[in-house]
Structure 1
Amino acid sequence: MASPDRAAEPTSSSATALQVLQRIFGYDSFRGDQQEIVEHVIGGGDALVLMPTGGGKSLCYQIPALVRPGTGVVVSPLIALMQDQVDALNELGVRAGFLNSTQSYEQRRATEAAFRAGELDLLYLAPERLRLDSTTVLLDRGEVSLFAIDEAHCVAQWGHDFRPDYLALSVLHERWPAVPRIALTATATPATRQEIATRLELTGARHFVADFDRPNIQYRIVPKNDPRKQLLQLLRTEHAGDSGIVYRLSRSEVERTAEFLVNNGIPALPYHAGLDKEVRAAHQSRFLREDGLVMVATIAFGMGIDKPDVRFVAHLDLPKSVEGYYQETGRAGRDGLPSTAWMAYGLQDVVQQRKLIELSEGDEAHRRTQSRHLDAMLALCETVECRRVRLLAYFGQEATACGNCDTCLAPPKSWDGTVAAQKLLSTVVRLDRERNQKFGAGQIIDILRGKKTAKVAQFRHDALSVFGVGADLSDHEWRGVIRQLLAQRLLAVEGDYGTLVLTESSKEVLRRENPRQVLLRTDTARAGSPREKATKQAPQDMPPEAEPVFQRLRAWRAATAREENKAPFIIFHDSTLRQIATVQPSTLDELGTISGVGEQKLAKYGRQVLDVLAVE
């Protein structure tokens, strides 16, 4: 395929970059900091870019690679997605290739020859390939325009899955000091950003921090009751026929949840590291290429998934950190259309995560770091304030109440739980001091509520002075109290069986004079769907009369994608089809003005689109 025009000299980069954006990618103008980042890298500067998923990070290195002489080398851990990334670029007329372990010897040789001959605009590499002498020798024999380090958070403490290979990327600066580097991630606190810069030797790089807000995503966290049934209700009432991702903590829960959805008429597939490699690849390919499919997965799935029409991300288990939660929920609504980030969260989540930290390998400093991450995640779950404000504040960004999260749409109430906390903590004290016993939440709640169970009788807990003092609260309410005391570190979990013990802070609540006040959030089941009450925040929303046209365009796209064996969004995003359905252009020139319709796609699909629009 022919390469886009390149500028003779980087001095005209601004005009050239805009021309590439318009002609190749089909967008009229840059968004946010994109233009400044692009011009900085074209000029030879290093950059560290923080931009939310769907914010256009890839353009920040793709356009400089097309303007600067040579080949842009993209370091990415996403081996399974490289083929789709390259296919999408080739569809635009960009000469792209990749080198990874999935290729045959002949395919690798052909890609290497194309690179040496200067016939590639972009070359994707897995980080481990840069540890091979053959790769560094290859790069020495061609002309490299820039190095892009994608998913750069993998170098940080909380993103340790790929750390060893990413830590070795300092070789880029040492071996090719004149080649500009751009590191990109969707998630990083100021501390994580500094860690990335230090570990990648980008301390002299210019930092670009985009707005972290994703206003099209509605954040909702509900009390966990029967999470699979709660999920099914969400999908049936709000996301029927939509593509989405459901995250589970364990492989067994992934399998059970996927089976549950299929048995209830929801097309779903499992994805976890225990599945055969070919099965994982097949499931990922189906998710990218089919509409309306739900992927139930561990967090091993999703990084770099460039599927723009994921309408929901659901968590049925508590994420370990706000960074992880933001990364995972950010996979929803990349096209800017309304999407849901939904989580069911309960007492057992807190107990389980605290226990995992206590039993984790690593030194005390590592456990303290994990605890801080969990504390921040729990604060987000338990807040009575706007969730978006709390989420953005974690990344150092100020915001006002969004009006489009559950706490804004149905503000939760808080109550003075000091007496309830004292009753519960006193029960833990008496079991320990009077009986030398420790129990989990279930037994303590039975004692508080005065239940004469077999276990209560066995241990004669009905003789305790606290037996029945908490009959005014239900089991569900007491579980909420315990969950929130754990979140506030007024209670702790100990041992393999998740027994409850006091903390140093517990004493502040139990003291006779001036006890510490304990404010608790009221868990209530919310009536109605928050989305129905929310203000629609999608500028691409269509008028009702455009809906049939949009569905015809989607049907054409699906058929074309099957014929060409590619993901539908590689042809056109939903947002582009929505705009076409709304405007209904009648000529190729008019179609060419639609955002997302570049020259290559206009030439390849333009006439077909007009034919679809002409059908009455």
Structure 2
Amino acid sequence: MTDDPLPHLQRVFGFPAFRGVQADVVDRVLAGERTLAVMPTGAGKSLCYQLPSVMMEGTCVVVSPLIALMHDQLRAAEAVGIRAATLTSVDENRAETIDRFKAGQLDLLYIAPERASTGHFRELLSQAKLSLFAIDEAHCVSEWGHDFRPDYRLLEPLMDAFPDVGRLALTATADAHTRADICKQLGIPADGMIVSGFDRPNIRYAISPRANTSKQIADIIADQPGPGIVYAQTRAATEKLAEALGRTGRPTRAYHAGLDPRVRARNQADFVASEDMVICATVAFGMGIDKPDVRFVAHAGLPKSIEAYYQETGRAGRDGDPAIAHLFWGAEDFARARQRIGEVESERQPGERTRLAALGALVETAGCRRRILLKHFGEDRLEDCGNCDNCLGNPDAVDATETARKFLSAVFRTGQMFGAGYVEQVLLGQSTERSLMNGHETLSVWAIAEGDEVALIKPVGRALLLRDALRTNAHGGLEFGPGARGILKGDDRVTLVVPPKRERRSRRAPAVAANPADNPLFEALRTLRRDLAKDGGVPPYVIFHDSVLRDMAAQRPSSRAELALLSGIGARKLDLYGDAFLGTIRDAE
């Protein structure tokens, strides 16, 4: 394949140039070389197979893990004129799709790994011309990955049955170990790996102890006018949060596996189409969403791992505009995580403990969050990012080792059977009927916390649980964990991050605005986009991203030729929507 991809990039997608490593990946695909592309969310991974699919003879078979994700990508492909279809259990036009596939009338065919691995599908593939296998979310093939799917392990034998067809694996979340395993499991040579940077500079990371979670997240909603995702750890929590956050006046929905399938599908569709909705969901939500204009992602509890955190926060700001990722955590999150680790197979426990420790380091640091996040994926960044809570707030670090020893002593002296709240009362000398009955007011640890130390008691308790110096027993009482010994002996220090005092709301960082120039033409273009999306039955971002509308409002093109020069406007979109947007621009003059 010697055809230059750049003219096709401009014609189909309306982009004047490739971004990042896209050109390198596309060149390898067109040359028929097996490739693993590791690129951050929002870096344009799908273009790396969509563009070759319109240049190469035959159909590109795309394996994707979720039906919702396939349908999102189908809409986006069709919007730029790519002949695409899905073959899933919910599609009513399966017979028509198979006929189109056999007749060579498809550039892209999206399929789930469960269907792709069947003998029937392999037989179907033998009846058509294939151009490429594209394996999306390729980390699912690895047991080291955070979303292991056994059916992905059956893809290599399928692809091996068609040795002349190229293969491209894509993922945004894979550390070095997982990347090597992906190559091994999918038959990709080690030198076929292209790793882009993992940094998402447009996302502002922030991590805070959980207090009044709904109030904390409501504050984010007040500052961010666009769509948002709130991740909660249980189904009940998603519904409770959705109800509480709905009182802010923003449209809010819940999403979890326990909902009636029709309600769940409607809530997801409403969110995808909305320009300001907040959805409260379990982590099952999101991988199937290709929504570029999510302005914030909030975690109401600890994610499973740094890989999961990176992937979930990566659903914010995929359009490149500024976005927020805020994690709210509690010490009980770490206690529950350690309990779950104890329930998995023994050979998996060391790896799970390492992942939890990495999350603990991210939560505890007083330094740049992004540097720790990127280091986990093998990137050593020398400078601070300037776009996380620690870089922006300059928190102080306090040596709280002596306070931690007092806390551990109080746990020991009271018999390692009481909860954190009671231990705090003992240290602070807060007399209660319980402390009198137990005779604890005569202990040497009674009321030994004083002065500036008083404010450290609660965060020290959290830190000790996070470090596994304390654990929660079956009755909710605190007992020593393996991390206690080093602190009591003086071998390990306990450093606490003291965040800066909260500023008044008027001095907070400004909200992320789609229309920072407050341009009335931009709002008129958004209204037109909303109407066209409703008429076409597609989300507004499928028509054009906000960035395209901002360019229109700023440059005010007066002809199709001028409109075609804007990034993101390909030939098909120009034909479908060009005249309508030009008309709105003329009306504003």
Distance 2:454 2:328 in 1: 18
SS in 2 for 1:544: coil
| 2:324 aligned with 1:340 | yes
SS in 2 for 1:296: strand
The Cα shift of 1:466 comes to 1.0
Of 117-126 and 363-372, the range deviating more from structure 2 = 363-372
Pick from 205, 208, 213: which aligns with 1:222? Answer: 208
The Cα shift of 1:179 comes to 1.2
Distance 2:557 2:504 in 1: 39
Map 1:511-530 onto structure 2 (within 5 A): 511=489, 515-528=491-504
The Cα shift of 1:208 comes to 0.8
The Cα shift of 1:531 comes to 9.3
**Residue identity matched to 1:479:** K
Distance 2:271 2:105 in 1: 32
**Residue identity matched to 1:239:** Q
**Residue identity matched to 1:271:** Y
Distance 1:570 1:28 in 2: 19
Q: Could you say which residue in structure 2 is the equivalent of 1:271?
A: 255
Q: Could you say which residue in structure 1 is the equivalent of 2:424?
A: 445
Q: Could you say which residue in structure 1 is the equivalent of 2:370?
A: 388
**Residue identity matched to 1:332:** A
User: Structure 1 160/222 Cα, relative in aligned 2: closer, same or farther at 3 Å?
Assistant: closer
SS in 1 for 2:279: strand
The Cα shift of 1:160 comes to 5.6
**Residue identity matched to 2:77:** L
| 2:405 aligned with 1:422 | yes
SS in 2 for 1:570: helix
| 2:224 aligned with 1:213 | no
SS in 2 for 1:148: strand
Pick from 179, 184, 187: which aligns with 2:170? Answer: 184
Map 1:356-375 onto structure 2 (within 5 A): 356-358=340-342, 360=343, 362-375=344-357
| 2:29 aligned with 1:46 | no
Q: Is the 8 A contact 1:74 1:123 kept in 2?
A: yes
Q: Could you say which residue in structure 1 is the equivalent of 2:91?
A: 103
SS in 2 for 1:65: helix
User: Structure 1 234/471 Cα, relative in aligned 2: closer, same or farther at 3 Å?
Assistant: same
Q: Is the 8 A contact 1:80 1:281 kept in 2?
A: no
**Structure 1, residues 235-289: CA drift from partner, whole Å, max 9, x if none?**
11x113x101000000000000001112331210000111122211111111111
Q: Could you say which residue in structure 2 is the equivalent of 1:308?
A: 292
The Cα shift of 1:507 comes to 2.3
Distance 1:293 1:263 in 2: 13
SS in 2 for 1:320: coil
TM-score by length of 1: 0.91
Of 243-252 and 258-267, the range deviating more from structure 2 = 258-267
Distance 2:560 2:248 in 1: 45
The Cα shift of 1:228 comes to 0.3
Map 1:512-551 onto structure 2 (within 5 A): 515-528=491-504, 544=517, 547-551=519-523
**Residue identity matched to 1:408:** C
Pick from 53, 71, 90: which aligns with 1:83? Answer: 71
**Structure 1, residues 67-110: CA drift from partner, whole Å, max 9, x if none?**
22110000001212322321221121110011000023xx1111
Distance 2:74 2:201 in 1: 29
Distance 1:367 1:428 in 2: 27
Q: Could you say which residue in structure 2 is the equivalent of 1:588?
A: 560
The Cα shift of 1:529 comes to 6.6
Q: Is the 8 A contact 1:421 1:485 kept in 2?
A: yes
Distance 1:60 1:42 in 2: 10
Q: Percent identity?
A: 43
**Structure 1, residues 168-199: CA drift from partner, whole Å, max 9, x if none?**
11223321222111111111111111122222
User: Structure 1 157/428 Cα, relative in aligned 2: closer, same or farther at 3 Å?
Assistant: farther
User: Structure 1 503/162 Cα, relative in aligned 2: closer, same or farther at 3 Å?
Assistant: closer
Q: Is the 8 A contact 2:37 2:169 kept in 1?
A: yes
The Cα shift of 1:464 comes to 2.0
| 2:544 aligned with 1:572 | yes
Distance 2:13 2:507 in 1: 32
The Cα shift of 1:303 comes to 0.5
Map 1:148-187 onto structure 2 (within 5 A): 148-157=134-143, 159=145, 161=147, 163-187=149-173
Pick from 8, 11, 18: which aligns with 1:20? Answer: 8
Q: Is the 8 A contact 2:41 2:315 kept in 1?
A: yes
Distance 1:175 1:475 in 2: 68
User: Structure 1 397/84 Cα, relative in aligned 2: closer, same or farther at 3 Å?
Assistant: same
The Cα shift of 1:387 comes to 0.9
Q: Could you say which residue in structure 2 is the equivalent of 1:3?
A: none
User: Structure 1 563/75 Cα, relative in aligned 2: closer, same or farther at 3 Å?
Assistant: same
Distance 1:211 1:583 in 2: 32
* Unaligned ranges ≥5, structure 2: none
The Cα shift of 1:350 comes to 2.5
Q: Is the 8 A contact 1:308 1:333 kept in 2?
A: yes
SS in 1 for 2:290: coil
SS in 1 for 2:367: coil
The Cα shift of 1:377 comes to 1.0
| 2:387 aligned with 1:404 | yes
User: Structure 1 177/529 Cα, relative in aligned 2: closer, same or farther at 3 Å?
Assistant: farther
SS in 1 for 2:126: helix
Distance 2:65 2:452 in 1: 50
User: Structure 1 480/114 Cα, relative in aligned 2: closer, same or farther at 3 Å?
Assistant: same
User: Structure 1 454/615 Cα, relative in aligned 2: closer, same or farther at 3 Å?
Assistant: farther
Q: Could you say which residue in structure 2 is the equivalent of 1:506?
A: 484
User: Structure 1 160/377 Cα, relative in aligned 2: closer, same or farther at 3 Å?
Assistant: closer
**Residue identity matched to 1:267:** P
Q: Could you say which residue in structure 1 is the equivalent of 2:62?
A: 74
Q: Is the 8 A contact 1:347 1:480 kept in 2?
A: no
**Structure 1, residues 449-473: CA drift from partner, whole Å, max 9, x if none?**
1122233233322232211112446
Q: Could you say which residue in structure 1 is the equivalent of 2:433?
A: 454
Distance 2:537 2:216 in 1: 35
User: Structure 1 467/52 Cα, relative in aligned 2: closer, same or farther at 3 Å?
Assistant: same
Of 154-163 and 572-581, the range deviating more from structure 2 = 154-163
Distance 1:543 1:265 in 2: 22
Q: Is the 8 A contact 2:50 2:77 kept in 1?
A: no
| 2:243 aligned with 1:252 | no
| 2:306 aligned with 1:325 | no
**Residue identity matched to 1:116:** K
User: Structure 1 353/479 Cα, relative in aligned 2: closer, same or farther at 3 Å?
Assistant: farther
The Cα shift of 1:414 comes to 0.8
User: Structure 1 312/114 Cα, relative in aligned 2: closer, same or farther at 3 Å?
Assistant: same
The Cα shift of 1:541 comes to 8.2
**Residue identity matched to 1:65:** S
| 2:10 aligned with 1:11 | no
Q: Is the 8 A contact 2:331 2:466 kept in 1?
A: no
Q: Could you say which residue in structure 1 is the equivalent of 2:444?
A: 465
**Residue identity matched to 1:23:** R
Distance 2:105 2:530 in 1: 32
User: Structure 1 453/471 Cα, relative in aligned 2: closer, same or farther at 3 Å?
Assistant: farther
**Structure 1, residues 375-394: CA drift from partner, whole Å, max 9, x if none?**
11111111111111111111
Pick from 25, 43, 53: which aligns with 1:65? Answer: 53
**Structure 1, residues 40-84: CA drift from partner, whole Å, max 9, x if none?**
011111111111110000011111222221100000012123223
Q: Is the 8 A contact 2:146 2:308 kept in 1?
A: no
**Structure 1, residues 521-553: CA drift from partner, whole Å, max 9, x if none?**
22454325799558x9x9x987726x2111111
TM-score by length of 2: 0.95
Of 54-63 and 524-533, the range deviating more from structure 2 = 524-533
Q: Is the 8 A contact 2:142 2:148 kept in 1?
A: no
User: Structure 1 84/160 Cα, relative in aligned 2: closer, same or farther at 3 Å?
Assistant: same
Distance 1:412 1:235 in 2: 24
Distance 1:133 1:39 in 2: 32
Distance 1:249 1:357 in 2: 16
